[in-house]
Chains A and B, each alone.
Chain A
Amino acid sequence: MVSPGGYLEQCKKKWFCYRAMRTRTVALVLCALAIAACKKPSDQQQPGQGGSTPAAAAPATGVLIGATLPLTGAESRIGGFYKEGYELAFEQATQSGGISVGGQKMPVRLTLLDDTSTQATAASLADRLINSDKVHFLLGTYATNLVEAQSVVAEQNNIPYVNGGGAATAIYKRGYKWVFGLLAPVELLAESVMKWVDAEQQAGKLPKPASIALLWENTSHGKDFRKGITEFADKTKGYKVTVDESFELNGKDFSALLGQVKAARADLFLADAHLPDYITMQRQYVTAGLCHKVISYGARGSEKQAAEALGKKNVEHVISAVWWSPLLADKNPEAKKFVEAFKAKYAGRTPEWYQALGFETARALFTAIEQAGSIDRKAVREKLATMKIPSLLPGGELTFPKEFGQQTHAPFVVQQNMPDGTAPIVAPPDSATAKGIAPNPNCAK
C-alpha cells in the first residue's frame, strides 16, 4: 500500500479526489434522482385543481373516480372479476350520458391501477390517486388486508372510500368516517351456515348435540369464520367443537390434519379456505375416505373451477354461504337487472358474487353523488352514511349502519351443491330455491 501520507497529499491537491468523489457523487446522484422524481409531472392535468378538497362546482372534465385492484399477483383472478363489475357500472353510467350532478349530466371516469396484491403498493397507489391524479372519490380494492391499508390513506385524506372487497370487522371498528363497506362480515357468513344447520337439527335431521370439526385458514377471513362458528356454538349449546385447528394459506399436504379430523369422528365438517386450498383439501378428504353429515368450506363450494378440478361427484352436497348468487335474480328485481346487463356485456356468462359486489359498490357511489347533487366530498359522505336504497344484495336493501362502523350487514345466501351440478339457494327461506339435504346421503355406511 502506498504510504498514507503520499496518498493524502495527492487527495488534497486534486479537487477530484477519487475516493471522496465517489461517495459525494453518489450522494449527489441521489439528490438529482430525487429532484428528477419531483419534476416528473403527473399524467393528468386537472384544470383548477388546487390542494385537498375540490370545490363544489364541478370541473368540465367530469367526475374522476380512482381505484386499485389486484390485477396481477395472488388475487389476480378475483381482481379481474371485480374489474368486470366496475366496468359494467361505469359503462351503464356513460351510456345514459353520465351521472346527474345537481341537474347537470356529468361524465364519470375510472382510473384503475394494479396494486399487485401487495399492501404497500395498494397504499402508495391510493396516495398517488388522491394526491397526484387528483381523483374525487375512491372505490375499494379486493382482499381485507389491502382494504385495511388503503382505508387508512382515505381517512387521512378525507376522501370517501367505498369498497366491496374487505369483509373483516376490524376495518370498520376503528371509528373511521370516510370508509364504507358493502361486504358483510365473515362472522355473519359463519352464522348463516350455522343457522341452516340449526334448522336441520331442529327438524331432527342432525344429531343433538352435534360435534364439529373446525378447520380454518390462518388468515383474517378464517379467523373471523372460526369466531362466528364458535360464538354460535357457545350461544345455542347444541354443538361441541371437537377439532379446532388452523392451517397455512396455500398449504399443500393436509393429510396429517385430516387424519386428526378422522380420529375425532365428528358429525359436521366446517372449514374455511380459499379456492386452491379448498380444492386440495377436498381432494385429500375424499381420497382419505372421509365423509361428514354436513360438509362446508365457508364461502367456497359451488365454484365451477372446483367442480372441474375435483369432479362433480366429489363436491356433492357441499354447503357454502356467499354474499350474492345469480339465483337471486328470480325474486330480486335489482339482481335480475344486473344479471341481464352482465350477460349482455360479457357474452352470456353468468356473474358470480365478485362481479355483483364490484358493480354494486360503484353504483352505490354514483347514487350518493346524485343524491348529494355535487361532488363535494363531505356532502357525498353524508349521503353515503344515511343511504337506504334497493339493492341486488340479499335482503334487497343497501345501508351502511352506523352501529357496525358503516359496514353493511346484508344477509348471506346459503347454497348447496346438488348431484345434478346445480347449486340452489337453500337459505334464508325468503330467497330459497330448493330444499337443503342433510345429512349427507353419500355417507351411508
Chain B
Amino acid sequence: MERFADLLIAAVLLAGLYSTMAYGLGLIYGVLRIVNLNHGGMIMAGAYAGWYLHHALGVDPYVSLLPVAAVSFGVGILVYRLLVRRLPRGAAGGVQSLLLLFGVWLMVRNAAYLMFTGNDQTLRTSYATRALSVGSALISVNRIAVFGVAVAILIALHLLLTRTYVGKAIRAVAQNADSCTLVGIPVERIYALTFGLGTALAAVAGLLGASLFPFNPSFGASELLKSFVVVVLGGLGSVAGTAVAALILALVEVFAILVIPAYLTAAVGFVLLVLVLVVRPGGLFGQRVLG
C-alpha cells in the first residue's frame, strides 16, 4: 500500500513535467499543422540555458525561468520568420516541415556539443537533495517545485487562450485560417507568435527537466516522443485535456515497473506511442480546436 502511494505521487509529479513538455508541441501542431521536431532541440537548449545561468552567474533555475522563456520566445519567432514561413502549409507540407525542423535540431545539437562538449551536466543547487515528507513518502523539493510551475503554466495558458484577444485569435486560426484573414486577424503574425510561444514552452520544460535530471546534447529525443504521445492521446481539445493525457502516460510508465522488468519500462512510452497512433481512429487531429 505504501508502495502504491509512493508510485502514485511520483506519477502525479512526473505528469506535471510531461504536460509542460507537451503544450509547446501541441500548440504548434494545432495552429500551424507542423510537427516541430526541433521541440527536442529547444528542450535541450532550455536545459543548457538554465544550467549555464546557474553555473556561470549563480542564478537559481526557477528565477531564470522567465528570462529563458522570453529569449526562447524570440528565438522561436526568428526560426519561424527565417525558415518555417517558407514551407507550404497544410498536409502537403507535412514531411517537409518534419525534415526541415529535424535539420534544425541536428544543428542545435551540434552547436550545444561544440559549446559545452558532450559530457553530462547536472544542475546542482543547494536544495537539490532536500526532501519533504508527505505522509510516508519522501518527495524531492525539486519535483514539487516543478509540479508547481507546471500547474501555474497550465492555468496561465488556459487564461491566455480563453480570456485574451491573442488567445482567442490563436484558437480562431487553429480552426480556420482562411476565415481569419476575412475577419481581419493577422494570420502570419499569429503563426509567428504561436511558434514563439511553443518554443518558449519547450525551453521552459527543458529547464525544469534540467533541475531534475542530468542532460547532454542528446537530451530531448525521448522527451519529444513522450510529448507526442501526450498530444496524440489528449488531442488538442483543451489545455486540461493535455494535462490529463500527461497523467495517463506518467501513470502507465511508473506503474509498469510492477509488471515488467525495470529496464523495459523505458520502452513503455514508445510502445504506447505506436499503439495510440495505430489504434486511435482516423482524424487524429481532425477539426478539434483549442479551448
Q: Do chains A and B touch in the complex (CB under 8 A)?
A: yes
Give Cα A255 to B254, complex, Å: 9
B67 on interface, CB distance cutoff 8 Å: no
Chain B residues lying within 8 Å of A311, measured Cβ to Cβ, are 124, 128-129
Interface residue ranges of B106-129 to A (CB < 8 Å): 117-120, 122, 124, 128-129
Contact status A283-B263, CB under 8 Å: no
A253 on interface, CB distance cutoff 8 Å: yes
Centre residue among A247, A257, A275, A288 by max chain B CB count within 10 A = A288
Contact A246/B261 with A255-B10, A309-B122 known, Cβ cut-off 8 Å: yes
Contact status A279-B131, CB under 8 Å: no
Contact status B263-A287, CB under 8 Å: no
B85 on interface, CB distance cutoff 8 Å: no
Distance in Å: Cβ of B56 to nearest Cβ of chain A:
15
A310 on interface, CB distance cutoff 8 Å: yes
A132 on interface, CB distance cutoff 8 Å: no
Chain A residues lying within 8 Å of B3, measured Cβ to Cβ, are 259, 263
Distance in Å: Cβ of A282 to nearest Cβ of chain B:
9
Give Cα A280 to B140, complex, Å: 13
Distance in Å: Cβ of A363 to nearest Cβ of chain B:
28
A251 on interface, CB distance cutoff 8 Å: yes
Contact status A74-B118, CB under 8 Å: yes
Interface residue ranges of B1-54 to A (CB < 8 Å): 2-3, 6-7, 10, 14
Contact status B129-A256, CB under 8 Å: no
Contact status A253-B214, CB under 8 Å: no
Contact status A247-B262, CB under 8 Å: yes
B71 on interface, CB distance cutoff 8 Å: no
Chain B residues lying within 8 Å of A308, measured Cβ to Cβ, are 124
* Extra pairs beyond A248-B266, A263-B2 (20, CB < 8 Å): A76-B119, A248-B263, A250-B216, A253-B14, A255-B10, A256-B7, A256-B254, A256-B257, A257-B262, A259-B7, A259-B257, A276-B214, A279-B120, A279-B214, A283-B122, A287-B129, A287-B138, A287-B140, A309-B124, A310-B124
25 contacts between A and B (CB under 8 A): A76-B117, A77-B117, A218-B263, A245-B263, A247-B263, A251-B266, A253-B14, A253-B213, A256-B254, A256-B256, A256-B257, A257-B257, A259-B6, A259-B7, A263-B3, A275-B120, A276-B120, A280-B122, A283-B128, A284-B140, A288-B131, A308-B124, A310-B124, A311-B128, A314-B129
Chain B residues lying within 8 Å of A284, measured Cβ to Cβ, are 140
Contact status A72-B120, CB under 8 Å: no
Interface contacts (Cβ under 8 Å), in number, total 85
Q: Which of B214, B254, B256 makes the CB contact (< 8 A) with A252?
A: B214
Centre residue among A259, A260, A262, A286 by max chain B CB count within 10 A = A259
Contact A256/B10 with A73-B118, A245-B263 known, Cβ cut-off 8 Å: yes
A289 on interface, CB distance cutoff 8 Å: yes
Distance in Å: Cβ of A160 to nearest Cβ of chain B:
31
B162 on interface, CB distance cutoff 8 Å: no
Contact A280/B138 with A256-B7, A289-B131, A311-B129 known, Cβ cut-off 8 Å: no
Chain A residues lying within 8 Å of B140, measured Cβ to Cβ, are 284, 287-288
Write the chain A residue with the least CB distance to B133.
Answer: A289
B175 on interface, CB distance cutoff 8 Å: no
The tally of residues in B whose CB lies under 8 Å from a CB in A reads 31
Chain B residues lying within 8 Å of A218, measured Cβ to Cβ, are 263
B64 on interface, CB distance cutoff 8 Å: no
Give Cα A289 to B128, complex, Å: 13
Give Cα A310 to B128, complex, Å: 8
Measured CB to CB, the residues of A under 8 A from B are 72-74, 76-77, 218, 245-248, 250-253, 255-257, 259-260, 262-263, 275-276, 279-280, 283-284, 286-289, 308-311, 314
Produce 1/0 per residue, B255-273, CB < 8 A to A.
0110001110110000000
Interface residue ranges of B142-184 to A (CB < 8 Å): none
Centre residue among B120, B130, B131, B212 by max chain A CB count within 10 A = B120
Chain B residues lying within 8 Å of A262, measured Cβ to Cβ, are 6
Distance in Å: Cβ of B74 to nearest Cβ of chain A:
29
Contact status A287-B7, CB under 8 Å: no
Centre residue among B212, B253, B262 by max chain A CB count within 10 A = B262
Give Cα A251 to B14, complex, Å: 15
Chain A residues lying within 8 Å of B138, measured Cβ to Cβ, are 287-289
Contact status B129-A246, CB under 8 Å: no
Chain A residues lying within 8 Å of B256, measured Cβ to Cβ, are 256
Chain A residues lying within 8 Å of B261, measured Cβ to Cβ, are 245-246
Q: What 4 pairs between A and B have smallest CB-CB spacing?
A: A276-B120, A252-B213, A245-B262, A289-B138
Contact status A77-B119, CB under 8 Å: yes
Chain B residues lying within 8 Å of A76, measured Cβ to Cβ, are 117-119
Write the chain A residue with the least CB distance to B253.
Answer: A256
Contact status A260-B6, CB under 8 Å: no
Chain B residues lying within 8 Å of A309, measured Cβ to Cβ, are 122, 124
Chain A residues lying within 8 Å of B129, measured Cβ to Cβ, are 283, 286-287, 310-311, 314
Chain B residues lying within 8 Å of A253, measured Cβ to Cβ, are 14, 212-213
Distance in Å: Cβ of B144 to nearest Cβ of chain A:
11
Give Cα A255 to B13, complex, Å: 11
